[in-house]
Structure 1
């Protein structure tokens, strides 16, 4: 009979979490057993090492990390590499490195180790073999000797009849003598799990009550392949049980597989963890994300100079899960932990607005510039970027080398803090004048004047070099005096100075530009320009 109740599941070190439970039988026993003794919250991120960590994977890792840590639990990283055909060399190590960059540190992992290792599935094959034997012995699974040719024929026939392709469960009904005969002949086989009808819902931590009778649209599924490797369905259930996982937060694309996993737990006689499924992340136009979108890889964000906190805020801003979140504020990982609330997670697909990432990164850049320790790190990073980009040209003169001094770099950062999103923006062509003397001056585009350009610039050079209190206001005053002396319009003389000093027709106000460059650099630029004029 169906029962409905609301209970508080209080786990060791956890806040009280309210769960609505529907159903009876195995699922009722599962939830009841969770009340019998307190236990530590243990959540996990279990990626496959098939490429770069992408935004969706980071989101899954982050929410599991936040859930575990906000409940004083443990966060586990496990590598699921049972599909050996799709492995990418060194991908597993890169995954853990990217999590570390994002300040998501596992308590247990292949690198960190832990009491429930190994944390790589290909190193746990003997464990899976033993548990498959248990399922064979209790009648929950069977050997399937069907060839790929037969399976392909079944699939093609179903498609031709406009039916859902699925296995016909033929080998479920083989006699013991037939199984022994095929085994003696060395016929290859896989292991399939016997699906059964599900009539009771399970409680999704995010979506609520879910009823899905997988037997209506699927057949007995493979849990051990012919190569001896387990499928995801078996391995993740066995590992979650052996590693004491209490909560599984994963993408909603796995929601359809959860009934299979609950049936496996039932067949083993184990209590299942609580499941919650995170909604899809989609492009702004609603289209599905693709792993071939390189600007969704976390390594791309790192290489392009985005800050970890900005990326984390970008991910969490679209998915919800937080109390009292202010707009226009970048939350630290500590803030995210403090405000995390699983019940606030959205159920709707999350649309990516990439402009938000730019906004968060700019906010975080400004925050770091106001931190005495962070600004030193930014200065060091900018130094290395400039040295790498303009190294040879910077060694051409002593004055040019001054652009690598901490004072100059700090002045540049503060001046441009509201005009850039990343440090790398300062290396774009329009900012080249900050670092190097222009290679040429577009003389043919200089403003028309009744006197020679060189004569006017020489006069400007004299007054600029003689200013004792070098500031923007004094610079502009002296330039205006020169314009009056030669009977020139202010815009014309400003354009002359900008083009000869930077090689650009447009840019920041001349007074600000010269002040930012500094008196010595401004004087050297004008001297260099005179040699070209």
Structure 2
């Protein structure tokens, strides 16, 4: 039998990492077993729908490399793949259950339900529907509904015995039926609830494994009963562990509960985020946690998930992203830098974003960059005619703090020492000239280098200085150094 797994988000905004981790696990399992991965939009709660959500969901999956086999736009043999376009199927299932008296119409108003909850609370009973309309005559209820009286349809749960289902990673789970109330399956607007819609669709689309968060465990016995009442074979259930923040509490935005596209904006690599999410709650064989997409597919198995809560470690994600950055070929990395710089650099940059320039500085920063978002702030001076320095104190290294009056003359001397090299502007002679000058002036080499570094780049922390100056070029480098001399002279007169 071909395995079929689905990702069925609601269109309520960008998918967050917990949601996507579950989708990723389904995708990996389907790919390992040569099965199908289906994208289905569960939009039955129209009040919560956010315009553009489907596009953002698809963009998130595509950015991560998680292509799907069937979906809302691609279609497929089991479409449509948007639940609001499948209402007739839910109505047919509801009619079957009503005819078999496995469901009933409920006319309780919101006020009725509120009073019911208050009475239950006052008497110490668990909250839930008390069954007021359960005994209504079906023909009478049908007549009231036909006359226009507002109602919902509830599934009739058994009131005795128990319901057991098998979870792939947790084993058998049993609930006493007396604690399971009669749930709403069709709302008064004739839209189904999640309970009915996903049961009908998972059967119709031949979904073999339902992978979802463990918050759905208490609802699963209801779903099992609904599958059985409709004559359907329940799928394999896999309830995934919750993701916690580093403090052991619920994952918050501060600790990583952001959308996938937020991580893309921050400069994470898709392959790093995939690798990281895959191992939150799953331990691969072997000692390494760095796994390519092919390695993840080859080794992943839903049955080996750990049901215990897992921690989202942002520091580990940053480390892993750095590992991936350093493992890329220089050509691949330069291409990603170029794409990112095209978005991040101001439109008015003086030097064009050409491949040769990016190729030149990529080796200098590969070991330093952890996120693509760091590239523009680290390299923007390569693309400008002038650099801005916040204040003169930025030029001064620790060793020169007591002799700041020497700063301007030293930088002026550096210009003079480097001017003869303009025709052969390379890192090695630049370094040799500046080291010789520092010795001649009786300065620490690092103090002189800091003056040149800030003058040329506007920053105290940069890629290697001499290679940087070579790439910037003789004319711009010397011009920036000359422009900085009067700034230092005015701030620190000799």
TM-score by length of 1: 0.83
- 1:345 is matched with which residue: 290, 301, 305? 305
Q: Does 1:411 pair with 2:360?
A: yes
| Residues 414, 437 of structure 2: 8 Å contact kept | yes
Cα 1:440–1:268 shift into 2, 3 Å: closer
1:475 corresponds to which residue?
430
SS of structure 2 residue aligned to 1:191: strand
Q: Does 1:494 pair with 2:454?
A: no
| Residues 29, 300 of structure 2: 8 Å contact kept | yes
User: Where do 4+ consecutive residues of structure 1 move more than 6 Å?
Assistant: 291-294
- 2:165 is matched with which residue: 190, 196, 202? 202
Alpha-carbon deviation of 1:202? 2.1
Cα 1:271–1:200 shift into 2, 3 Å: same
Alpha-carbon deviation of 1:150? 0.9
Q: Runs of 5+ in structure 1 lacking a partner?
A: 1-38, 396-400
2:419 corresponds to which residue?
465
Q: Does 1:354 pair with 2:308?
A: no
Cα 1:186–1:508 shift into 2, 3 Å: closer
- 1:380 is matched with which residue: 317, 331, 338? 338
Q: Distance in 1 between matches of 2:195 and 2:117?
A: 21
Q: Distance in 2 between matches of 1:163 and 1:292?
A: 38
| Residues 441, 500 of structure 1: 8 Å contact kept | no
Cα 1:494–1:137 shift into 2, 3 Å: same
Alpha-carbon deviation of 1:185? 4.4
User: Deviation string for 1:364-413 (max 9, x for gaps)?
Assistant: 22222x154x2342242144145x33x43x32xxxxx27x3433322322
Alpha-carbon deviation of 1:303? 1.6
2:484 corresponds to which residue?
529
Q: Runs of 5+ in structure 2 lacking a partner?
A: 490-494
Alpha-carbon deviation of 1:40? 1.3
Q: Distance in 2 between matches of 1:42 and 1:489?
A: 67
Alpha-carbon deviation of 1:251? 0.9
SS of structure 2 residue aligned to 1:172: coil
Alpha-carbon deviation of 1:241? 0.6
Alpha-carbon deviation of 1:472? 4.5
Q: Distance in 2 between matches of 1:505 and 1:367?
A: 27
Q: Does 1:190 pair with 2:156?
A: no
1:172 corresponds to which residue?
134
Output aligned runs, 1:97-176, within 5 Å.
97-176=59-138
- 1:93 is matched with which residue: 55, 64, 72? 55
Q: Distance in 2 between matches of 1:222 and 1:525?
A: 72
Q: Does 1:319 pair with 2:281?
A: yes
SS of structure 1 residue aligned to 2:70: coil
Larger deviation, residues 161-170 vs 98-107? 161-170
TM-score by length of 2: 0.89
Q: Does 1:279 pair with 2:241?
A: yes
CA root-mean-square deviation = 2.7
1:421 corresponds to which residue?
370
| Residues 44, 248 of structure 1: 8 Å contact kept | yes
Alpha-carbon deviation of 1:334? 2.1
| Residues 323, 341 of structure 1: 8 Å contact kept | no
| Residues 341, 375 of structure 2: 8 Å contact kept | no
SS of structure 1 residue aligned to 2:162: coil
1:212 corresponds to which residue?
175
Q: Distance in 2 between matches of 1:211 and 1:451?
A: 81
Alpha-carbon deviation of 1:494? 3.0
Q: Distance in 1 between matches of 2:455 and 2:142?
A: 90
